[in-house]
Amino acid sequence: MTAQQPLVATRDLGVHFRLSRNTVLKAVDRVSFDVLPGETFGIIGESGSGKTTLGRALVCLEAPSAGQVLHQGRDPYALSRRQLRQHRRNYQVVFQDPNAALDPRMTILRSVREPLDVAATMPRAQRDEVAMQAMERVGLSPDFAARYPHELSGGQKQRVCIARVLTLRPSVIVCDEAVAALDVSIQADILNLLADLQREFGLTYIFITHNLGVVGHISDRVAVMYLGRLVEMGETEAVLARPLHPYTDALLSAEPVALPSHMRTSQRVILSGELPSPVSPPSGCRFRTRCRFAQDLCAAKEPEWSEVEPGHWAACHFAGTLPVTSSPVHGVAEVVA
């Protein structure tokens, strides 16, 4: 695993927003991880934990306030402006709300072609052709070309957004809650499509979601974020089946799993309270105000980010020694097999 050069990496990355003269909100705070080529890297956490900001920083839509984002080992901000523009085509994002990404007055073909129009590196006829190919690839027949967004369903609009980014032939796509607004049946369709595209184009995904069923299904590895910091990271099976951090445990336990009553075994841990203000996070361990295992030490000292088991990282003073009880969210299929 270490032999491969990471395609995307962060080193003590911070993204800070200055809210007023003396308040700074650290939406992302000292975050370090590597994403390998061809991998699907999931990021989960409650809303407000900094997932979107982190995702934006990974594709240079948000500049680091501290630390670094590295693309294939290089700092994209060291590139000239022109080079950076060219370089960014490789790093694309698909957002939750396709309506926000599509101009209601543009035909579907024009929306799909738009990134190529902006890049202006091909003649028009070729841009049309590439756009039509991308549409076909995501399962939109040619008669969609002349239609407008309002004539399309949510799932079809999300396909348009995926086709749009495909025209640029990116190597990395950040999917920020890309299937969250879709009905389960349509969500399944889009997840299948993303898997096909990954195989075909060797894509690397950074998959941000609050849906544990989704993240468990498609990710190779997952990172858990809380108030701007990573609290756990590892292989998906390990994190979901044997979480090391009490926060991960609570998230898993809160996920409602469709099982008949006699098959529900795990007792639920209901997390009390809500996410504290990120402007003044709790001292020591940020999770301590909601943690059922918190001790005096947790307020006094920030837990270290350490590799508790090979490839499985956590930031908790007592990681590996706590009686966490996870529920079978990641695959009822595996659990009941």
Partner 1 sequence: MDHAVKQPLLEVNKLSAFFRAGRGEVQVTRDVSFTMAPGEMVGLVGESGCGKTVTGLALMGLLPPASSRLEGKILLQGQDLIAMPPSAKRRLRGRRISMIFQEPMSALDPVFTIGHQISETLRAHQDVSRAEARNRAIEALARVGIPEPTLRYDAYPHQLSGGMRQRAMIAIALVCEPQLLIADEPTTALDVTVQAQIVDVLGELCTRMGMAMLFITHDLGLVSQTCSRLVTMYAGEVVEEGRVDDILLRPRHPYSSGLLRSLPALTQRKARLPAIPGRVPVRGDMPPGCRFQPRCAHAQPPCTAPQPLRAVQPQGEVRCCRAEELILPGVLPVERAA
Ligand X SMILES: Nc1ncnc2c1ncn2[C@@H]1O[C@H](COP(=O)(O)OP(=O)(O)O)[C@@H](O)[C@H]1O
Binding site for ligand SF4 (CB under 6 A): 245-246, 285, 287-288, 291, 293-294, 298, 303, 316-318
- Based on its alpha-carbon atoms, the radius of gyration of the chain, rounded to whole angstroms, reads 21
Q: 247 with 198: CB under 8 angstroms?
A: no
**C-beta of 183: minimal distance to Mg ion in Å?**
11
Choosing from 16, 24, 30, 48, the residue that interacts with ligand X (CB under 6 A) is: 48
**C-beta of 141: minimal distance to partner 1 in Å?**
13
Interaction partner, residue 246 (partner 1, ligand X, Mg ion, none; CB < 5-8 Å by kind) = none
Q: Is there binding between residue 221 and ligand X (CB under 6 A)?
A: no
Interaction partner, residue 201 (ligand X, ligand SF4, partner 1, none; CB < 5-8 Å by kind) = none
Closest CA to 228 of 282, 173, 165, 154: 282
Bin 196: left if φ > 0, else alpha if -120 < ψ < 50, else beta: alpha
Q: Is there binding between residue 209 and Mg ion (CB under 5 A)?
A: no
Nearer to ligand X, 59 or 112 (CB): 59
Binding to partner 1 (CB under 8 A) within 61-120 occurs at none
Q: Is there binding between residue 52 and ligand X (CB under 6 A)?
A: yes
Binding to partner 1 (CB under 8 A) within 220-279 occurs at 236-237, 250-251, 253-262, 268, 270-272, 274
Nearer to partner 1, 127 or 312 (CB): 312
Q: Is there binding between residue 47 and partner 1 (CB under 8 A)?
A: yes
Binding to ligand X (CB under 6 A) within 252-311 occurs at 278
Closest CA to 54 of 15, 9, 100, 92: 15
Q: 257 with 332: CB under 8 angstroms?
A: yes
Nearer to partner 1, 99 or 211 (CB): 211
**C-beta of 284: minimal distance to Mg ion in Å?**
26
Burial (CB count within 10 angstroms: exposed 0-12, middle 13-18, buried 19+), residue 22 = exposed
Cβ atoms within 10 Å, residue 267 = 8
Q: Is there binding between residue 96 and Mg ion (CB under 5 A)?
A: no
Choosing from 7, 8, 25, 59, the residue that interacts with ligand X (CB under 6 A) is: 25
Q: Is there binding between residue 52 and Mg ion (CB under 5 A)?
A: yes
* Side chain identity, residue 196: D
Binding to partner 1 (CB under 8 A) within 156-215 occurs at 183-189, 191-192, 195, 210-214
Nearer to Mg ion, 14 or 284 (CB): 14
**C-beta of 238: minimal distance to partner 1 in Å?**
12
Side-chain half-sphere exposure of 173, counting CA atoms within 13 A: 22
Bin 320: left if φ > 0, else alpha if -120 < ψ < 50, else beta: left
Q: 194 with 218: CB under 8 angstroms?
A: yes
Cβ atoms within 10 Å, residue 274 = 10
Return the HEC string of 100-150.
HHCCCCCCHHHHHHHHHHHHCCCCHHHHHHHHHHHHHHCCCCHHHCCCCHH
Residue with tokens 């999770």: 287
- Residues in touch with partner 1 (CB under 8 A): 46-47, 153-155, 183-189, 191-192, 195, 210-214, 216-218, 236-237, 250-251, 253-262, 268, 270-272, 274, 328-334, 336
